Structures are given as C-alpha cells and as structure tokens.
Structure 1
Amino acid sequence: MKYIKTVCVAGIVWFSHAAYADSFIQSNLSTLPQYNTALLSNGISLYGVVDVGLNYQSVGGKSLWQMQSGGVHTSQFGFFGREDLGGGLKAVFNLESGFELNNGSLEMSQTLFDREAWVGLSSTTWGDLRVGRQPSANLPDVADPYGEVVTNSVVTWLAGGAVQTRKGIGYNADLGPGSSQVLVRESNAVSWTTPRVAGLGATFLYAFNGTQGVAPYALNEGVVASWTNASLYLAAAYNQVWSTPVATASGTQTVRNDIYGVSAIYDVGTFVLSAAFDQVAPHLAGNGIARSYMLGGILPFGPHALRASFVYRDTSGVRDDAGLPAKDSALGVMLGYDYNLSKRTGLYARAGLIRNYGISSVILNGTPLPTQPGSAAPEQGTTPLTVSLGMYHKF
C-alpha cells in the first residue's frame, strides 16, 4: 500500500487560487520557498524541511516508543526553477524528494523524487500546464489542521480509509475488491490549472496507468473547482480512480471508484475553521460505500497554536466474513500544540486516537493492528493511540 504522505502539497492550489493578506495558512506556506511566488522569477532554488520527534504508539495492549520523521512536515528537499519567457509566460519545473530524518532513508524505496517530478508552462492568461509526477486534483490538504501529514493526522488514516484485512492494509479495503482512494500525488499525469476569475478556479488532471494491455488507459481522472472571497475558501472535487486488475465474481478486472468531496475553510488569521465531506463509491456489484466527515480548527496566539480535528467514517453495504451486513464505522480525534521559535523553526506536541466500531479495522500512524489468535484477520473494535513530541526546521 502506498500511504498518503504530504506536507502542504495544497499550497500549489492555495497560492494560485486563494491569496489574502491575513491568512494564517498562507503565512505558514509562504515560509516554504516553492510556494512563495514572489521569491523567484528566474533561476533555481533549493528548499526543504527537516522534522523528527519522539513517538509513542499503543494498540491492542501493545506499546512502542520510537524516533519518527515527519510529525508536522514530511522531511523533504527539493529544487524548483522558473524562467521568464516574456509575455506573461514562464517555464517551470519542480523536483522534490521525501526522506526519513531518523535514519536517512528515502521515503519511497528506489525513487529519488517521489513527491514531485514535473515540468510545465505557467501563463498569466492561460493558467498552468504541468506534466509528470504531481499533486492530484483533490480537496486542499490544508482543510486538515495537520495538513494530512502521514504520522500525526487522523484525516490521513481514517478519511483515507487505511483498512487492515487478512491480505494486508489497503485503501477502503473493507468495501470489497478493487476499492481505492485518490492519492495525494499521481505519476504519468498531465494537469491544467485555470487562471482565477471572479474568485473561481479549477484544476483538471489525467494520469495514465502506464500498463500495457490494461484498459482503460487512465489511472485517475480528476477535477477540483474552488471559489474564494476574502477569508472563505470553498472547494469541490470529483475523481474517477481505477484499481489494478483484481479478482471479482465476474473474473479479473479493473474497478472504477467514483470519489466525491467538498470542503470549506474559514481563515481570518486569528483562527481557522474547516470542514470536509468525502464519499468513495466503487463501481462493482456487492461492494460497499464509505463516507467521511471532518471538522477542524486552529487557534494561533503569539508564538503558540492549538489544533484539533475530528473525523467520523461510516460505511454502507459492508459485510462481515460470514457475508452478513455489519456495522463498520470509526471515530478519530487529534489534538496538537505548536510553539514557533521563529518563522521557520518550531516545536510541537500531538496526541490522537481512532476508535473502531463493529468490524472496522482502520490503523493509525502505520502501526498494524494485532491479529486474532490463529488467524491473519485483525482484531476488531481496537483503539490505536499515538503521542508525539518533536521539532522541525524549514530551509
């Protein structure tokens, strides 16, 4: 399973679609130079984040203490370049690599630029065209107060549907074969982001599956549209995601997943409120449907910031191992505190849990659930818990 790993990927959409002086989100994103459009008009720049912390996890009566990278921001480094071609047109590119600061390994084995690797053209009249590995056309990650970072976000794991089954961990695996999710970024993708007109803008994306003889040619087709006016930002997204070929009652086939989402962010600088809804509906007879609901908030004061998010995931049409309809829902809570030593350096504390109900078996922070005695099936009704203390620095 490819876990969702991100730290401000939404900044690309946020800066092109919503820029206002008093935004708390924008002021934080602007400390990363690849999102500060005023920083560079020509040339190449290096940027990155280093983030590591002490993490405690507990699930099913077992506990773990460890060093963990990426508690607030995925540890990363990248290069971005811009060349002014005149007439409002620029050539642009971005190469970005994630890594584990606690041991120095690559975030994705044998893939150097796992986070971004694209080239394109940017026009003040026609918008932005990009080709390569890039963020998907989905709701902004900043709707989650924790930016959907992989280590300390119940949105990443619960709304993302990271479900453990007998066969392992997969996106929305409890819904049936071929069930999937929108990844934070897609390879082999072409995207176009429109200029913003009267507060309205959109991004369209098409990603090829890159596999010979597998139809359709698409891996993901997506669009996200948004509107902003001063401190309010609204977004709606629709994606069609195709699974790899899987065994079904009708034989081996790819399964299309229709994934809908809406979100709202109210950011006045002194506080941020957000809400989001997401639905995953696989197009396969007998599969279930998952819906997630998120509420979040950030309260900054001086060098401090308090954060909270609440996520509820519910399903319909899900059956247990005996083929009977089953309750399958979960509630997640994440609380956080930040202390900013400067605009680029901060300390943080995080604590969160996911309460699984019925046959739900969603994991948190990548730690597998214990299995049932003599079986590969995970324990049901467990409550994975995580606590982290750490530090980050942006450069």
Structure 2
Amino acid sequence: MRGRSVLGASVVAFATLASNEAHAISYLQSKLVSLPEFNPGFTDGVSLYGSVDMGINYQTVGGKSLVQTQSGGEWTSKLGFFGREDLGGGWRAEFNLENGFTANNGAVQDPTSLFNRESWVGIASNTYGQLRFGKQIGTGLPLFTDVFGTLSTNSVFTWLGMGVVQTPRGYGFNADLGPGASQMPARVDNAITYLSPTFAGFSTQIMYAPSGVAGQSPVAAAQGALLQWFNGTVYIAGSYNQVWAPGGTATVTQNVRTDLYGVGVVYDSGSLVLSASFNQNAPNLAGDGIARIYSLGAILPFGRNAVLASVVYRDTSGVRDSNQNPAKDSALGVMLGYDYTLSKRTGLYARAGFIRNYGISTILLNNNFLPTQPGTTIPETGKTPITASLGMYHNF
C-alpha cells in the first residue's frame, strides 16, 4: 500500500473549474496553488516542484506497538516536472512527470516505475477542454473529499474506501467481497482522459484505459466518468467507474468487472470546510458481496492553525466467512489532525486515528498488519489498529 495517495481523484477538474469562475479563493484552492499546474502565475515553460514530508509515527494493534520515522504524513514526498507551452490560438501543450519517494530513506515508492505518480502528455484549450494520454489520476471522487487528502498513511478514508483487507496471503483491495472484487488504482496506466470546458459551473471528465493485453476481453482495463458542479463555495460531484480484475485463478477464470459509484459534496467558505461522500463497490460475480462507504469531514482554519476531523464507516452485504456462512463485516474509522503553518510552503502537523473492525473485517491502517492466529497467516478479527504522528513538510 506504500505510495497510494489518491482514491480516484479529479484535482485537475476542480482546479479548472475554480480558474474559470470568478470568486474568492477557498481554503482548498490555497493549498493547490503550491503546484505549478494550478498556479495562475505559471503560463509557459518547465517547472520543478515537489514535497519533502517527514514525521515520527507510533502505531499499535493487538498489543504490539511500533515507533518509526515515516514519510508522507500530510503530503506525499515527491519530485515532479510540469511543463506548459503556449501554442497560440488559445491552445497549449502540457506534460507532467512525477515520482514519489520515501524521505526517511530516499527510496522510490515503486521500484518498477520511475514516474509512478504521473506520466502524461496532453493538449488543452479553455474553449475546447483538455485531452491527456498516459499514467494519470482517474475519474473517481476528488481527493479533497477526504479532508486528509487520502494519503496512504494518516487517512482512514484511504484504507476503508479502498477496502484494504488483510488476508492470509497479504492484503487485497475489497478482498472480503469475494474472488472477483477489485479496485480502481489511484493512478491509471494507459489512460486517455478528456475534461470538458465549464458551462454554468458544470463540467464532465471521461476516461478510458485499454489493458494492452492481446486477445483479452474486454479490451478495457478501466473506464469511467465524473460529472461535477462548482460555484466557488460548494462543489458537488458524481462518478461512475468500471475496473476489470484479471482472471486465471482456480476460482475465477474470466475477467470480472467491479462497478464503482460515488457521490460527494464539499462546502468551502475559506474559513470552514465541510465534506461528505458515499461510495459503493460492487463486483459483478455471482456470490460476491457489496461494500458501501460513508464519510464526513471538516476543517476549521484560524490564522496559522487548522483543526481537521473525519469519520468513515464501511459496511458490506452478501459477505461470507471461510465456511461460506453469511457474516457481519464492517469497520469504523476516525482521524483527527492539527496543522500549524510556518510559511506558505512549510508547516507542522499532528495526526491521530483508529479503525475499529467488526465481525470478520480485517481492514488495515497505515501499513500496519494485524496480528495473526497462532501458527498461521490468518489475521485475527475484531482488532483496532491505532496510529499517531508528529511531522513537518516543505513544498517547493
């Protein structure tokens, strides 16, 4: 789970909506302008940008505790290049290459991919929209639906929303729903996306990602759409995505489609941020279950300070235990936070949260594996992983 930082986001769409409408800057927009793509002062050229985030983290679950240095407690540590060229006639060419790394040891997040977070090129126009090709963020609900930004560390929304379930073989996304369940990756390979211009506050984004595997049916690995509306204070979005998990196992021989639905709303007055969302993950395989995720979040900024809180509940239906009997399977997560801004680019943060697993649920939190039954790799149920962090970041 290292390196995952977004639950199918559309930051680009939100920023484009914001830039095309005249209104006071919101709290979330003030965070986005640190990135060159969303900085109105950056019009042409290539910009180097990134974040270095380091903290001290404490974790405990099942009577075992861990103290460690940890990267990415508020911002994913990253290094990126964003380029833009004015082509004339209202057109511009753009590209983005972005690598994620762990600041505590300098290692790349994904040893198989140098630019594991972004790797795309595209063309854009305020009149006709944006077209992009390559590895990029998909068309799920935006990352700011979670007030903690859906990091793979201090965000209960990430772990519950992605359904990061511990199994005897490690972890799997929505693995408790059945053998055909899967999840949309945070960044989608081979993606082709189109973002429409904004009309009366509305815009839409569509995505198609072929599998690149000869003879595979269907041809797509993922596809989806996002419809959104923004008036400067209120953001409302609905998304529908499909992702196919490859077959080839003893229990699943064909590719199985999982349908991902999402509805979210964010209120951002600049002095208060409130958010709520609903997501449903439904694999299309007979006998598989369905997961529903409900979230509420708030940010209260005052001066250099900000207090954050989120509550997330994941419930399932149609789930069965190892004996194929119907089973209760749900989990509740809570995360609290405090930020202190030293400058526009540097800040301190504190985070503390937990996930309470009910029934047969074995959801992880912050990469900390649950204890297993003696002499086996089967995770124990009913456990409550807890995490707490103190750290700092610098954006450049």
Asked if these proteins are the same fold (TM beyond 0.5), I'd say yes
Report the equivalent of 1:259.
260
Q: Deviations over 1:202-243 (max 9, x none)?
A: 110001112233211111111011011230000000001000
Q: Does the residue aligned with 1:223 lie in a helix, a strand or coil?
A: strand
In the alignment, the residues of structure 2 paired with residue 91 and residue 215 of structure 1 have an alpha-carbon distance, to the nearest angstrom, of 34
Give the letter for the 1:42 counterpart.
D
Give the letter for the 1:13 counterpart.
A
Q: Deviations over 1:46-92 (max 9, x none)?
A: 01110010000101110000000000000001111111111110011
Paired residues of 1:195 and 1:201 also in contact (CA < 8 A): yes
Give the letter for the 2:297 counterpart.
G
Give the letter for the 1:21 counterpart.
A
Q: Which residue of the other structure, out of 17, 36, 46, is the alignment partner of 1:33?
A: 36
Q: Which residue of the other structure, out of 119, 122, 125, is the alignment partner of 2:124?
A: 122
Relative to the length of structure 2, the TM-score reads 0.97
Report the equivalent of 2:159.
157
Report the equivalent of 1:306.
307
Determine whether 1:390 maps to 2:386: no
Paired residues of 1:7 and 1:73 also in contact (CA < 8 A): no
Paired residues of 2:136 and 2:187 also in contact (CA < 8 A): yes
Paired residues of 2:7 and 2:186 also in contact (CA < 8 A): no
Q: Does the residue aligned with 1:177 lie in a helix, a strand or coil?
A: coil
| 1:304–1:2 CA distance, 2 compared to 1 (3 A) | closer
Q: Which residue of the other structure, out of 50, 53, 69, is the alignment partner of 2:52?
A: 50
Q: How does 1:322-361 map to 2 (within 5 A)?
A: 322-361=323-362
Structure 2 spans left out of the alignment, 5+ residues = none
Q: How does 1:280-291 map to 2 (within 5 A)?
A: 280-291=281-292
Q: Does the residue aligned with 1:18 lie in a helix, a strand or coil?
A: helix
Give the letter for the 2:390 counterpart.
L
Determine whether 1:228 maps to 2:247: no
Paired residues of 1:44 and 1:81 also in contact (CA < 8 A): yes
Aligned-residue Cα RMSD (Å) equals 1.5
In the alignment, the residues of structure 2 paired with residue 53 and residue 109 of structure 1 have an alpha-carbon distance, to the nearest angstrom, of 23
Give the letter for the 2:369 counterpart.
P
Q: Does the residue aligned with 1:311 lie in a helix, a strand or coil?
A: strand
Report the equivalent of 1:15.
15
Paired residues of 2:2 and 2:152 also in contact (CA < 8 A): no
Q: CA deviation at 1:11?
A: 2.9
Give the letter for the 1:287 counterpart.
D
| 1:49–1:3 CA distance, 2 compared to 1 (3 A) | closer
Give the letter for the 1:47 counterpart.
Y
Give the letter for the 1:35 counterpart.
F
In the alignment, the residues of structure 1 paired with residue 2 and residue 182 of structure 2 have an alpha-carbon distance, to the nearest angstrom, of 11
Paired residues of 1:178 and 1:246 also in contact (CA < 8 A): no
Report the equivalent of 2:70.
68
Deviates more, 1:67-76 or 1:19-28: 19-28
Give the letter for the 1:377 counterpart.
I
Structure 1 spans left out of the alignment, 5+ residues = none
Deviates more, 1:162-171 or 1:323-332: 162-171
Q: Deviations over 1:135-167 (max 9, x none)?
A: 001111001010101110000001110001122
Give the letter for the 2:319 counterpart.
V
In the alignment, the residues of structure 1 paired with residue 253 and residue 379 of structure 2 have an alpha-carbon distance, to the nearest angstrom, of 26
Q: CA deviation at 1:178?
A: 2.2
Paired residues of 2:3 and 2:110 also in contact (CA < 8 A): no
Q: Deviations over 1:84-122 (max 9, x none)?
A: 111110011010110000000001113110000000100
Q: Deviations over 1:169-198 (max 9, x none)?
A: 011000001211122210111000000101
Report the equivalent of 2:137.
135
Q: CA deviation at 1:337?
A: 0.1
Paired residues of 1:161 and 1:362 also in contact (CA < 8 A): yes
Deviates more, 1:329-338 or 1:163-172: 163-172
In the alignment, the residues of structure 2 paired with residue 332 and residue 191 of structure 1 have an alpha-carbon distance, to the nearest angstrom, of 33
In the alignment, the residues of structure 2 paired with residue 85 and residue 33 of structure 1 have an alpha-carbon distance, to the nearest angstrom, of 18
| 1:10–1:304 CA distance, 2 compared to 1 (3 A) | farther
| 1:353–1:4 CA distance, 2 compared to 1 (3 A) | same
Paired residues of 1:8 and 1:29 also in contact (CA < 8 A): no
